[in-house]
Amino acid sequence: MTVAVVTWNINSVRLRLPMVLDFIQQYQPDVLMLQEIKCTNDQFPTNAFTEAGYPHQAVHGQKGYHGVAIVSKFPLTDISSRVFCEIPESRHVSAVLDLGRGPLTVHNFYIPAGGDEPDPEINPKFKHKLGFLSELTSWFSEPEFQRGHLIAGDFNIAPHENDVWSHKQLLKVVSHTPIETEALNAILNGGHGWTDLVRKHVPFDQKLYSWWSYRSADWENANKGRRLDHIWATADIAEHCIAAEIAKPYRGWADKPSDHVPVIVRFAGV
């Protein structure tokens, strides 16, 4: 038996509920981390997920924008959320669950997109993004992150050259500027060390994306994507990860897809 964990920026969970339920049918994930639910806690489709087999839910929404949620087949305890940069937006929720190897803390992040101009002096959104990364760096250096942790979400950064359609053309575009990619890679490689579970299974010389802009008239042929969505784990968890997949077909789901697709990792042996 394997356990599957998914991250997906759903861009309105209410509008996209039929697509999520279709995905659940197809992939049978155990834990689903959703970003940009774009609803308040009481607007979240609790009953639909419960009926689909996911009665355990940690929802941290807000009106209109942002918002994150974890829905799970397994009980969630110690549900918590954290505010970054003293800006009261719903960008993080965490919970503890047991997938058979003892307590696992899972964190769901929605890192700020950062606006257009990659200069913190003139763009407060970019300043927020860098501040968020700085606070993550400090937090992850704490001893609890030595083991038993999985972090996932829309990080809004494509860290490697082959995580974007054109490294050269995106070096000055927010999501792939050196200041962002270096900060994210420093978090990955610093602290107690994380494993990028998707790149554990897909070689770095292979182009890989999880997001395609709505503005591209023909996203599939243009294929100007970026890998913005990530799942990392501490070494003790990562060693049991046996597969990773990006479910690209959901970018073309019906007439109303999200601009992000699900990222799935599987763990062996419960």
Q: Which stretch binds DNA (CB under 7 A): 25-33, 172-180, 182-190, 245-253?
A: 172-180
Query: Does residue number 42 form part of the binding site for DNA (CB under 7 A)?
Result: no
| Min CB(263)–DNA separation in Å | 14
Query: Does residue number 105 form part of the binding site for DNA (CB under 7 A)?
Result: no
| Min CB(170)–DNA separation in Å | 6
For DNA, the binding residues in 123-162 under the rule CB under 7 A are 125, 154, 156
DSSP string over the chain:
-EEEEEEEE-S-TTTTHHHHHHHHHHH--SEEEEE---S-GGGS-HHHHHHTT--EEEEE--SSS--EEEEESS--EEEE---BTTB----EEEEEEESSSSEEEEEEEE-----S---TTT-HHHHHHHHHHHHHHHHHTSGGGGSSEEEEEE-----SGGGBS-HHHHTTSTTS-HHHHHHHHHHHHSTT--EEHHHHHS-TTS---SEE-TT-TTHHHH--EE--EEEEE-HHHHTTEEEEEE-GGGGGSSS---SB--EEEEEE--
Shorter beta-carbon distance to DNA: residue 156 or 234: 156
Shorter beta-carbon distance to DNA: residue 40 or 137: 40
x/- binding map, residues 198-217, to DNA, per CB under 7 A? -------------x-xxxxx
- The binding site for DNA (CB under 7 A) comprises 9, 11-12, 14-15, 36, 38-39, 63-66, 112-116, 125, 154, 156, 169-170, 173-175, 211, 213-218, 224, 226, 228, 256, 259-260
